[in-house]
Amino acid sequence: MKVQVLSGMLFLISFAAPAQPPVNPNATPAAIKLKSMLDSLYGKKLISGQMDEAYLQYIISASGGKSPAIMGYDFNGICPSQGGNNDAQKAIKWVKEKGGIAQFQWHWISPDANGDFYTKNFKLNLALADTNGASYKHIIRDIDLVAGEMKKMQDAGIAVLWRPLHEAEGAWFWWGMAGGEACKELWNLMYNRIVNHHNINNLIWIWNSYGTTKQNWYPGDSTVDIIAWDYPDYSATGSWYQYNKLFGGKGKLFGIAEDGKLTDPAIFASQPWLFFMTWAYMIQDPKDHKDGKNPKDWIYKVYNDPKVLTLDDLTLGPKAYAGTSQLLFDLDGNGTESVQLDGSNSYTDTGTITSYVWTEGGTRIAEGPKPVVSFGIGIHTVTLTITTSTGATKTAGVIFTLKSPSLSFKKPVRVSSTEAGLGNLAPNAVDGNSATRWSSLYADPQWFSINLRKRCDIEKVVIAWEVASAKSYRIEESNDSLTWTTVKSFTNQPAGARTDVIDQLKGGAQWIRMYGLQRNTSYGYSIWEFEVWGKENALAEPVPEGQQTGLGSLEKPNEFSLGKAYPNPFNPETRIPFFTPESGKVDLRVFNVLGQVVYTGSQFQNTPGTGLFTFSGENLASGLYTFSLQFGNQMKSGTVVLIR
């Protein structure tokens, strides 16, 4: 694939889809180059983007040194009653000094200054109908203010992705409340005012659509370069499917203008979106921010995926690529797997690459472009550092997750039903991949059955529920798949996504199933993973619930009890379940091998029942850790192993 440099910006120029020039026939050279670059990348790379520079260092830290290629800015604050906006200068620095791409939207308050962008006080249809009225003049005044900032960027020689009147079809902003016709009229008014009156020609125009067919909101091919969805549905019949059905023949590029969770590069093969933009604070880890959407290991994985284009790819110098993160299984049971690392796609446009060094946790584990290494059970975050003949260095990362397969791994399954059209098939719940799931039809009851192929002692069952979880269900076992024995039953389980760990079970069988009695939502039942743990036993027979004595999610022993930490070994988190026979405070302390306290936590149980501590070893070294739980004068202890 040929690489070309234009004004400090790298881009790929081989792409089969027909490229279109900017819709503005007078587009500046910078706008033409930017549009050409986007055309060339479409279907080849997923361009990374982030709203608000305030989160840049967070991304750099979490991703191992990567930065988004697109930075998002906003003209909110530009109206006379607001006090000003300086984002144009920030955007100029981002493009000129960093070599990135700038994107703008506008949270436009009421032009009459009688409300914010959500206000119902501003009546767009009435304002547009009276071109001599004050409201219409205020619209023009505000657009002119934006044009003035756009001119600063045009004079600086940069092009901008421009997404005005975003999310109009949602009708929660004033520009969408009057309907599609009024919004299209405002779009065209803005386009004509900025382009034809002010001669602002450095913009790539993005129209934000939800793919609705209820009204015709589309302003027309002549004023739209890119069509972008906010918070898309990634299912097989979701946003990408709708866009292609409605706009597929127009030759427009499709992007993701806002999302919370970083787009999974795995969907790129079937949904080759041009770019994603993560909305501001949503880039954060949900552990650290109540509205966070992205665990740090997910940020690392996405930003280091070879399908994702980052800021590095837009600037001169070495480019490090460490290959694709992989989920592996220890199928032979020896606790290790050999893996070939792959940095062969790394390159440099200045000098030559003289060394490839692979490290894990700061320790060198291999050298060369494609070395073979051995990994043990756990999560392995590996960093590749390349060095060139000019002394320049660049790093990239890759994650290898090696798991022991459960008894249910890729075993035959049968289900009562499958939700149509989403690809959430039954085998997804036993594939070992926590990113794929099964979902049922929207009715009770539903069941999910696994044939373990041989009789086994079933010691533990782990069900990772999606938001569509079970409120009440049974775990049943059978040796003929006809007569079923209930070994555990659950009622009034909490709503939302959760992981149920049913531990210390007795007996076993060849078949096991989850029999859902009552849902927590109006949707069906949805399971990410259904894991069964134990060992083969040709004489295994189900043990009825009344004879089960292990600690499970429903057990109510008459004393403070501790379940088994899961997973163990772990990286970066493990869960420690417990049961309290009455309300009260539970304290957790974790110790290293020197007896030093490395973590403390507390929970207050308002009612008797099960609880769960989540312990993160993110900032700790690999090794053995002892933990103690104290409830009143009762204490329970256990050990966990952190493997990095």
pLDDT exceeds 80 at position 407 = yes
Per-residue pLDDT, averaged over 261-268, amounts to 93
pLDDT attached to residue 620 = 84
Distance from C-alpha of 158 to C-alpha of 254, rounded to nearest angstrom = 22
Per-residue pLDDT, averaged over 153-174, amounts to 95
| Confidence at 570, pLDDT banded by 50, 70, 90 | confident
Distance from C-alpha of 217 to C-alpha of 618, rounded to nearest angstrom = 47
Mean pLDDT of the chain: 89
Q: How are strands ordered across the β-sheet holding 573-580?
A: 561-562, 573-580, 609-616
* Whether 366 contacts 373, CB under 8 Å: yes
Q: Which residue has the higher pLDDT, 608 or 625?
A: 625
**Looking at 149, 169, 258, 337, which residue is catalytic?**
258
Q: What is the DSSP letter of 22?
A: -
What single string gives the DSSP state of each residue in 570-585? BSSEEEEEEEESSSEE
* Whether 158 contacts 87, CB under 8 Å: no
Count how many residues are written for the chain. 644
List, by residue range, all CATH 3.20.20.80 domains of the chain: 3-316
Q: Per CATH, which fold does 3-316 belong to?
A: TIM Barrel (3.20.20)
C-beta pairs of 79-87 under 8 Å, 24+ apart in sequence: 79/108, 79/109, 79/111, 79/113, 79/142, 79/145, 80/113, 80/141, 80/145, 81/109, 81/113, 82/109, 85/149, 87/149
Spatial CB neighbours of 269, under 8 Å, sequence gap ≥ 6:
none
pLDDT tens string 55-106: 999 999 889 889 999 999 999 999 999 988 999 999 999 999 999 999 999 9
Classified as helix, coil or strand, 175 is helix
pLDDT attached to residue 596 = 79
pLDDT attached to residue 549 = 65
Distance from C-alpha of 413 to C-alpha of 531, rounded to nearest angstrom = 12
**Which segment of 29-38, 397-406, 550-559 scores lowest on mean pLDDT?**
550-559
Residue type at 626 in one-letter notation? T
* Whether 417 contacts 446, CB under 8 Å: yes
List, by residue range, all CATH 2.60.120.260 domains of the chain: 413-547
pLDDT attached to residue 624 = 76
Kind and range of the H or E run holding 29 = helix 29-41
Please tell me the class of the 561-642 domain: mainly beta
Name the burial class of residue 238, with classes exposed (0-12), middle (13-18) and buried (19+) by CB atoms within 10 angstroms of its CB. middle
List, by residue range, all CATH 2.60.40.10 domains of the chain: 320-403
Distance from C-alpha of 32 to C-alpha of 92, rounded to nearest angstrom = 17
The separation between CA 333 and the C-alpha centre of its own chain, rounded to angstroms, equals 31
What single string gives the DSSP state of each residue in 465-500? E-SS-EEEEEEEEESSSSS-EEEEEE-SPPSSSEEE
| Confidence at 606, pLDDT banded by 50, 70, 90 | low
Helix H, strand E, coil C: the string for 383-429 is EEEEEECCCCEEEEEEEEEEECCCCCCCCCEEECCCCCCCCCCHHHH
**Looking at 53, 97, 149, 167, which residue is catalytic?**
167
Helix H, strand E, coil C: the string for 271-288 is CCCCEEEECHHHHCCCCC
pLDDT attached to residue 609 = 65
* Peptide bond connecting 68 to the previous residue in cis, omega within 30 degrees of 0: no
Classified as helix, coil or strand, 164 is coil
pLDDT attached to residue 515 = 98
Q: Name the range with the highest mean pLDDT among 7-11, 262-266, 434-438, 582-586.
A: 262-266
Q: What is the DSSP letter of 317?
A: S
Residue type at 124 in one-letter notation? L
Please tell me the class of the 320-403 domain: mainly beta
Name the burial class of residue 84, with classes exposed (0-12), middle (13-18) and buried (19+) by CB atoms within 10 angstroms of its CB. exposed
Helix residue spans in 134-210 (DSSP H): 134-155, 174-177, 180-191
Q: How many CB atoms lie within 10 A of CB 521?
A: 15
Q: Angle at the Cα of 203 (from 202 to 206), degrees rounded to 5?
A: 170
Per-residue pLDDT, averaged over 219-234, amounts to 93
CATH superfamily of 413-547: Galactose-binding domain-like (2.60.120.260)
| Confidence at 7, pLDDT banded by 50, 70, 90 | very low
**Which segment of 283-287, 370-374, 512-516, 556-560 scores lowest on mean pLDDT?**
556-560
Q: How many CB atoms lie within 10 A of CB 60?
A: 16
pLDDT exceeds 90 at position 361 = no
pLDDT attached to residue 215 = 66
> Residue 167 catalytic?
yes
List, by residue range, all CATH 2.60.40.3080 domains of the chain: 561-642
pTM: 0.68
Closest CA to 195 of 26, 38, 57: 26
Distance from C-alpha of 62 to C-alpha of 230, rounded to nearest angstrom = 24
